[in-house]
Structure 1
């Protein structure tokens, strides 16, 4: 009996030491998501009343877009290979059960009609899912599309699929404004721009036909510099994309644009892309202040004239400049309040080129939608990814939102490609 009492006394004493040590250590831990383990609730994020964020996974690598199967498995696409693999599987959304496959980096990933689709920077692959929604043969995907342009700049091949057997692929322009010498002061814009023949738009292919090449696709929409965020809206039966606007207006044309102009122009555009749409890049950009398309200075523009840009397609909504929209999701779940039904969530990766103004973005916003068009102003839905106001202003942030996915229960997943975190946002309010 004495031995047992001695043992219990030692055990209690040891636990007191551990608790005391942990408490002392926590005094020195900054209040950021960087140090919180998977499973942390509301890890530094700010959300509307009734919403809760949980850290599902952290430090996975450069997680770009994500997809969730009907059984809750999360597939994450990596921009850089990790242990030689580019796709991570979180079984049942559990960060402790991670496996990987796919020997190519990239951005795009999506699930449709019993297949997992994923892209490299020059091709699109697909994997058959079995009855348990698991990839049948992860080592041998079908190559659906190959030979897409990859010149290093704006090369992510984001993808989305419609309900009629088509897949849409962003082919970003490897250029800022199609100058003879890219981003060079004094270099004129090429007119017509040859890049538009093979990039700077969205191409449509057949989702179920292996072995397609670029020539087999249809240029669905053009005049889009780069669209990392695109999504098919099944309720509207239309394609929507967000454009990354051009850079360097002041640096290359300081007689026309101030440094403040450079930070605030051009707007990031939310586009309804119909077959044959032309949104004007590189000849035009959208000025959110003037609320119209303006002729680019490389093509004779003076920061005010519309010229040929008066006739190009307009955005359905404009956002502040250089926020880098990287994911678009139309909410179809029933967990969130009614106001979110069929509305659009957009993940903004955040800026790097608004100096001397503070950098901005690094959040997820919500846009209410009705009949396929915005029905109200956009609002910040999830914030705090930057870590602090100082980090946000400098651009040296903790996390950069990059991917969005809807869970079977209607929750919203958000991924980060800075450190590789994934959060699950749920609604617990009335």
Structure 2
């Protein structure tokens, strides 16, 4: 995989094309949308193409400054948990190789390195001058032994601009009951799960050999975070929490099936060191815009939670599973998108008998580093039809988001393994 050229060159057209850089740097106009926009519904002026079909459960993805695409698979395919995709002049890509025998979710490129996570460890790979991994079989193990109890086990990762690595440690529980997800079971006193999970842990990005115990619990009270990103405009971590499930199933005398489908909201949080978002002691009612005391801890659906807990920065429909978060810093899209957030919603499974929801990418406007104004659906129809959305039988489930060097938006699909690229095409 490593390119052996060691001295600077002026790339010829043929060489650029062979390296997969031609479409991204030399001839951007050669990349055109598919005639059907890859089956997606997009705002006017946007187009999309299917970059590749990986055939695996594509979780998060990273695009290097040179345009190489790295995709993290939930489970290894042919023994490879990370796929390398090389675009050609049309923007389509082929799987050029793979490495990493582990499954997982997290992958992130920054500072000349590619970081990737299994459900227990975080690895680092060196990238060369053309964005290719130089040590595919011998990565540095940055962190080992992260907690994995088989529920909310994925380890999403992001880096800040000061050499820190942030890792989600999801809670191995729905709502910290004595008996998880059992009808009428109350919450465990003080929720001991929070000592080791249910938050964001911070490590050094450049230090090999770190262990779970050597990390810093940066934030707590977060049930499970899959989508997270660093907002460079205000130098702040933002995360998307997966809200708790089964209010009606566990407390049928307190919540109707409709209430259980509409509560709680999926929440965007602005995180500072020491922040506490309040799980499992509360949930956020996005309809009334209130933090509600959880029924496992004495709530009745109306009692307000302790105001000491973090207020969401924004809220979205319940059970839609936000799995990707990206702050857009490119110049391809119109100005309204600059520094705003794209969020990939994987889709619900537990809103029945109400229709299922999600399976889309939304845009949340930001101003001066804060959410500003209502969110809007940006890319839709990943599921294939409204009927497939309602039934929860989606053809594709958006999961990861990445920004290309030209400002394109890449989206991964956790169902069929499709990789999409969304561009602004209006001249």
**With structure 2 as the length reference, what TM-score do the two structures score?**
0.90
**Pairwise mapping of residues 172-321 of structure 1 onto structure 2 (< 5 A)?**
172-308=170-306, 310-321=307-318
**Cα offsets for 1:376-404 (capped at 9, x unmatched):** 11000000101011110000110000010
Distance 1:224 1:49 in 2: 36
Instruction: Count the aligned residue pairs.
Output: 392
Within the alignment, does 1:74 sit opposite 2:72 as a pair? no
- 2:393 is aligned, of 384, 391, 396, to 396
Within the alignment, does 1:370 sit opposite 2:367 as a pair? yes
Give yes or no for contact 2:322–2:343 (8 Å, CA) kept in 1: yes
Distance 2:192 2:271 in 1: 21
Distance 1:307 1:49 in 2: 42
SS in structure 2 of the partner of residue 209 of structure 1? coil
Larger radius of gyration: 1
- 1:48 is aligned, of 43, 52, 68, to 43
SS in structure 2 of the partner of residue 404 of structure 1? strand
1:41 shift after superposition: 4.6
The residue number in structure 2 matching 1:8 is none
**Cα offsets for 1:180-224 (capped at 9, x unmatched):** 111111221011111101100001100000010111111111100
Distance 2:39 2:111 in 1: 37
- 1:113 is aligned, of 95, 111, 132, to 111
SS in structure 1 of the partner of residue 319 of structure 2? coil
Moved more, 386-395 or 57-66: 57-66
1:95 shift after superposition: 2.6
Runs of 4+ in structure 1 off by over 4 angstroms are 38-41
Give yes or no for contact 2:322–2:345 (8 Å, CA) kept in 1: yes
Give yes or no for contact 2:320–2:346 (8 Å, CA) kept in 1: yes
CA 1:58/1:39 → structure 2, altered by over 3 Å: closer, same or farther? farther
SS in structure 1 of the partner of residue 387 of structure 2? helix
- 2:418 is aligned, of 413, 418, 421, to 421
Distance 1:81 1:313 in 2: 37
Give yes or no for contact 1:39–1:56 (8 Å, CA) kept in 2: no
- 1:350 is aligned, of 344, 347, 350, to 347
SS in structure 2 of the partner of residue 91 of structure 1? strand
1:137 shift after superposition: 1.1
SS in structure 2 of the partner of residue 405 of structure 1? strand
Distance 2:35 2:163 in 1: 40
Give yes or no for contact 1:41–1:55 (8 Å, CA) kept in 2: no
* Larger helix proportion of the pair: 1
CA 1:296/1:102 → structure 2, altered by over 3 Å: closer, same or farther? same
1:43 shift after superposition: 2.0
**Cα offsets for 1:266-299 (capped at 9, x unmatched):** 0000100111110100011001122111110011
1:372 shift after superposition: 1.3
Give yes or no for contact 2:281–2:305 (8 Å, CA) kept in 1: no
1:328 shift after superposition: 0.3
Moved more, 53-62 or 141-150: 53-62
SS in structure 1 of the partner of residue 405 of structure 2? coil
1:45 shift after superposition: 0.6
Gaps of 5+ in 2: 1-32
Give yes or no for contact 1:40–1:55 (8 Å, CA) kept in 2: no
Give yes or no for contact 1:86–1:103 (8 Å, CA) kept in 2: yes
Distance 2:321 2:95 in 1: 32
Give yes or no for contact 2:34–2:48 (8 Å, CA) kept in 1: no
Moved more, 181-190 or 358-367: 181-190
